[in-house]
Each structure stands twice: as C-alpha cells, then as structure tokens.
Structure 1
C-alpha cells in the first residue's frame, strides 16, 4: 500500500531527508543517552520530594502557603545543585528573570563584567540602555571581554575580573544573535575557576536560556553562583504557559525575589492560579522534549548542509543548546526558509512571516513561529535579524517527527525558489 504524502513533499526532498537521517543515526544515540540520564534525575527529584496530586491545586490573591509552588522550587534547586530556586509565572520571559537576578545581585557603584561579549539584544537594554530603569541609569557599571576566536579569553578574564569594583562576572551560555560557539559546562567551569582565583567574592551568573538538559550537568554544578532562564524554553517541556526561573545561592535568589515582587515580600507571594500541574508535567517532560529539539536541530544542520549552506554547529558536533544556525548570505533564502518553517507549524501554518520592528531589537526581525504557547522557542521556530550575513537561528521541535517535517518543508521552499544547489 502506497503511503499518503500528506505534506506534498517532492521526491527529491523525501530522499534528502532519508539521506540525512541515515547519516545521523549514530549521533542520535548520544542525544538519547543524555535524555535518559536527565529523565532519571528529574524522576528521582520528584520521588524525593513526594510529589502528589495535591500540589497541583492553584492559589489566588497573595498566594501564601502554596505548597506546590514551594516544592517545585525545591525540585529546581535539587536539579541544578543549588541552595534555592525561584520558579514563577510572574516572569514574563527569560529576560525578565535575568533582569531580576542582575538587579538583585548588584547595587549602585558595582560593576558587571560580561565575559562572553555583549549580552543578548533584549538583555542589553537592561544593562546599558538609556531607558528609565536600566542598570546604567541606576549607576551600575558595565564592562565586557570579547570572545577570542569564538571562545572564552581566559587570560583577559583573569585580568579584568581581578578589579576591586567587579562584583559580578556574567556568562551567556547560548549564542543569541551572534556568530559564536555555545559554551559547554566544562568551559563555564574553567571560567569560574579563573574568576574564583582572582576575585573569590564576585557573583558568577549564567544566562542559561536554551541550554537546560542538553548536558548531564548545569552551570551551577560547575562553579556558577546562579543561573536563570525561561520556562517557555527547555525546562517548561512545551507545557508551561509562561514564566521563568532563577536558581542559585539562597541569598542571591532571595534578593532576586525582592526585585520580582517587592523588598520584604520576595517569594512569599505569588499565586499560581491552577497552573502548577503544567509546570510540574512540563519539567518532567523537559529532558525528552529537549532531546527532540536537539534531534531536530541536528537534522536541520545536515539537510541544509546538503543543500549547500553553511551551518553551525556542524551535524556531528556536540550540542550545548537547542539552537541551529544557517548562514544564508542574502535575504531571499532566509525568508523562504522561514516561510517553510511556518508552513510546518501546527498553529498559523497559513501565515507568511514578514520582518518587523520587534521590541528590544535594533534591526527588523523575521520570525517563523506557529506555537501553542506564544513565543515558545522549545516549539519549532526560526528567527533572524534582517542584517548581514543573514544568519537564521532555528530552534525547537516538541517532537522530532514534527520538527523533521518542518525542516523538509523549508527545504522544499528553497528548492522550489531555486535558491540552493
């Protein structure tokens, strides 16, 4: 019996997918090993904290004595090897969580040293922006160490971190909208050791967005004092409707909670409105869903490579986040790729993505994202600032089969438009 071609893929694209998948089989096995390890780690934490159905009940108003919320935060702390956690729906995105962590740890006159070049576009507004409420406007200083050949410049970090006024050393694990390598936990650990040697009292903070559960360790298990991220990326498992997290030293997490709510209130307040079940279930699924997204990224890398485009990371490379970049070199193939990704989405597949002035970015951004949760980049999406060298950032895929379908539809768009070999 002949199988139905539901998506109308050409024979060339179908064969292209088979060729890529056959090549990638041995690399998928390592991804599955990491997912197995992290799934057992999450299950063990759920068992240790005696998670029960009663924890899924929501609170309203002030949210005092929310046992489910408090237990979830203890689970996050255990998983990241930290003293405390703050997991809240009140964080509107990862940038908000990171901002609260920064303002909690730093005071006027302190200096933040970023050692992975400039922070991601949206966070840069918090740090050096001229808008009201930025760190710059509060008298918090900023310095940065640029990457050297795409890697941490440990010699420069050691020299700069030794300054008396440096109170925080900041690392962005993932690449953001930059052509650079994502940091492994081993590399983060090396940087932490250097900083500890010359400035033992400095807070070491990691932007962990896109990196959770991609390895068997997290940054706070290799020397970082705290890290933060978004629940609509990896740790929400595709189910969290919004929110973010901060994990780390107890005093730092408490100070961040004061920024989220108010000094003296902190984490005591914050109702969950019946959403605890999704946060728990999303976390339980997170290692598996993250692995599905990584497989989608690896598949994308191989397919786009076969079509003649430059990709990073390479299909064979270890993965430390869920992001895949494709350098298109021109606006037209970038737009066609995003159109294909959008066509492969379960939501708004009929929409044609167009560049627009997205808040927090200096250039128009094109974004393909047909997600069940708005902006959830653990779901299949692709976005890029419309500037040279027209590099697209693809991430997500709740399931590998659906992610693979989206990549093949993107390949179809490029081939039909005559924009690839």
Structure 2
C-alpha cells in the first residue's frame, strides 16, 4: 500500500509526537468523565431515547438532552435539536434571536467563515439577511500576529453595539484558533467597555478539545453543529445553542415561533444517537486531534508549513497545511478521499460550492453527509494554497488518510 520511504516517515513522526498523544488522552479522560457525570445527574435512562411525533409535547428525552448539554457546557440552558440543518443555520438562529433592527453586531476576530457571509448579508439585499433587517454590522481584523486588535475593538464599540461575535476556529484563515482562555480575555475586555454586551461564540470544531468551553469563560451564548464534535459521529443532523437562559429562549423563538420556542418539536427518532454521540464525543474528538498532530508532524518533516505546528496547543480539530501550488493541494485532498471507507472511488474536483466565494475541493467520504468529525479535507482554490484537514473517528483512519495523501503526491512526482 505504501512504499518504504512513506512508512519510515510515519515511524519518525509517531516517535516525535508520542508525548503529545499522551497529553491528548488526559484531556479525553476528563471530558469523558464530565459528560458521564452530566448523564448521571439527570438520570438518563433508555426511555429518554424514545421518539416523539406531531407537536412533540412533553418529550422528556428532548428536555433532558437540553439539561445535559447545559451542564456539559457550563451554561444555564441549552437548545439541542435535529431541526438545525447546519452550523450556519444554528449560528444564524442564535444571532437573529438576540438582535433587533438598529442593533449592532461586531465581529472581533476578523472576517467570519465563508458560509456566514450570506447570513450577515448587505443592507437591502432582499434576502432576509441580518443587514437586510436593519442590523448594523462591523468587523475588526486581527493584528498581524493573529491576536485581537484591542485598540480597534475599543474604537468600534458604539452605543448601538449589542452583540460581540467571536469565531473560535480558524475557518479558512491562516491563524491560530482561539483558546478558551483567550476568549475569556476578550469577554472581559469588551464588557469593561460596555457591560451589557452579549458575547456570542461560534464554537464549531472546538468542543472537547480543551477542558472547558467558552460559556465557562464568560461567553453569553455559543452555538455549534452536531455533525461536528458534539454529535460523536452518530448524530445524523442538528445543532445546539447554549448559554444564558433568556438568550437561549430568544433563540428558540427564532427556531420555531414566538410563544412556542423549545416547548415543542418532535425529535423523530434522533434522541438515542444524540445522547450516545455526546457520550462518545470526547473520545472521538481526541482521536481526531491526534490525527491532526500526526499530519502536522509528518508534513513539517517534509518541509511544508503547518498551522498549528505539531506541538502547538490545540483548541479545534482543524489542521492547515500550506502547499506550493494547486497541484499539491488537489493531490492531497484527493488522497484523503481515497482513504475513505465510504465513496473511496469518488475523485473530488474543485467546484463552485454554494455559500463560498471561490471554487472549493472537498474530500468527504463520510457516513454522515458533511460530517466533519469524520475524516475530511477541503480547500478553496486560491493563493496561498492551503488544505484544511479535520476529523477522523479513529486515529488509525487519520493515519491512513494522511499517508495515502502523501503517497498520492509522491506517485504524481510532486515531492
């Protein structure tokens, strides 16, 4: 399957990262215990897995799932539903829930992830975006070193600013993802300027990579996707919102309707997978993080620039690798696809994907369509040529994907 040179590079990389993998295991243990304690506190039983129909009145499983999520994330309340179709939908629901015409949203971690651009929109775009509804928008670029530009943030906060937005993960940006400690520092800074600000964190890709979550560092509201970290590879769709009770309630009115909120909504047989996925999530996130560390170590040895480096702190799943041209980028992503258990025969090609501003190539041989806790990789075809690898339900699969990508590049004489 792999030539001797590739196998030797694998052995060297694993020797280098051995201590780092043990550190990841310690994080997994503590997060796993935290999840189990929440299950025990709320006396989760098999009858909580039963599905509901119609309006879903008095669905005790749905109610307990919300309580468990709230405890796991150190929040007052949570809204966990299969009715969220994506992370973008979940984030949009949270923002539309708490913002009103004339309010201001200020993103302080630079330009957000591509798919959120249409949610923010433009004034008068006629699409029902935030700005179309008269919500003012601004963003503050990060400093050259990737840290918040504190002076610019202070200058951009106005009496109309109501929500401060923070994107924890790097998205398609060549920067470090923010740690929970750094997010806590941002929360304290902006609230010293304006105490009634609502701090919202896009928590996608970050759950269970650290011992705490942004809501435990002062964030008022967070949101994420269940086909990423917290779904544990089992949740087939959905998202979650967690934070202060009154803010979660406002978001629930946006998901359904005012006066209805989170009190209804048939769970349609999804509860068992959501509970069990959350139970598995800390372990599977740890497997994916190990895979990212391995990829970084292997490609650093080959002379490529990675972000984060193999021994940097980890606060999300994503591993960015910078290549020298589109051929390397495409060969890498296609190699990840070749290693999939599902659709390994499919050859990804760049295409104009809805919600993105450049052609995107995406390897996604997953059991859950778009499930990025599973091994996947994608990249916009633009300079600099950076591949973003994430996920992997097992470390063994992560290694297979990385080694197949490397062998693919060698076979094409790109190395």
- TM-score where L is the length of structure 1: 0.97
Superimposed CA distance per residue, residues 347-368 of structure 1 (whole angstroms, 9 cap, x where no aligned partner):
0001110011111001110000
Which of 384, 402, 405 aligns to 1:407? It is 402
Note the 1:364-383 alignment, pairs <5 A: 364-383=359-378
Note the 1:249-288 alignment, pairs <5 A: 249-288=244-283
Aligned to 1:127: 120
Counterpart CA distance in 2 for 1:14 and 1:271 is 50
| Match status 1:182 vs 2:153 | no
Aligned to 1:226: 221
Aligned to 2:93: 100
Counterpart CA distance in 2 for 1:44 and 1:301 is 34
Q: Match of 1:137, SS?
A: helix
| Match status 1:47 vs 2:43 | no
Counterpart CA distance in 2 for 1:201 and 1:127 is 22
Superimposed CA distance per residue, residues 37-94 of structure 1 (whole angstroms, 9 cap, x where no aligned partner):
1000001000000000000000011111111111011111111111110000000000
Counterpart CA distance in 2 for 1:231 and 1:59 is 20
Superimposed CA distance per residue, residues 70-123 of structure 1 (whole angstroms, 9 cap, x where no aligned partner):
101111111111111000000000000000000001000000010001111111
Counterpart CA distance in 2 for 1:79 and 1:156 is 34
| Structure 1 contact 185–219 (Cα < 8 Å) conserved | yes
Which of 193, 198, 214 aligns to 1:198? It is 193
Aligned to 1:76: 69
Aligned to 2:355: 360
Shift of 1:9: 1.2
Structure 2 stretches of 5 or more lacking a match? none
Aligned to 1:3: none
Counterpart CA distance in 2 for 1:255 and 1:28 is 41
Which of 292, 295, 305 aligns to 1:297? It is 292
Aligned to 2:338: 343
The CA RMSD measured in Å over matched residues stands at: 0.9
Segments ≥4 residues shifted beyond 3 Å: none
| Structure 1 contact 341–409 (Cα < 8 Å) conserved | yes
Q: Match of 1:123, SS?
A: helix
Superimposed CA distance per residue, residues 317-365 of structure 1 (whole angstroms, 9 cap, x where no aligned partner):
1100000001113100001001110011110001110011111001110
Counterpart CA distance in 2 for 1:360 and 1:75 is 33
- TM-score where L is the length of structure 2: 0.98
| Structure 1 contact 368–383 (Cα < 8 Å) conserved | yes
Aligned to 1:153: 149
Counterpart CA distance in 2 for 1:415 and 1:48 is 53
| Structure 1 contact 169–205 (Cα < 8 Å) conserved | yes
Q: Match of 1:22, SS?
A: helix
| Structure 1 contact 171–206 (Cα < 8 Å) conserved | yes
Shift of 1:158: 2.7
Aligned residues: 412
| Structure 1 contact 77–248 (Cα < 8 Å) conserved | yes
| Structure 1 contact 157–194 (Cα < 8 Å) conserved | no
Counterpart CA distance in 1 for 2:180 and 2:150 is 15
Counterpart CA distance in 2 for 1:174 and 1:262 is 30
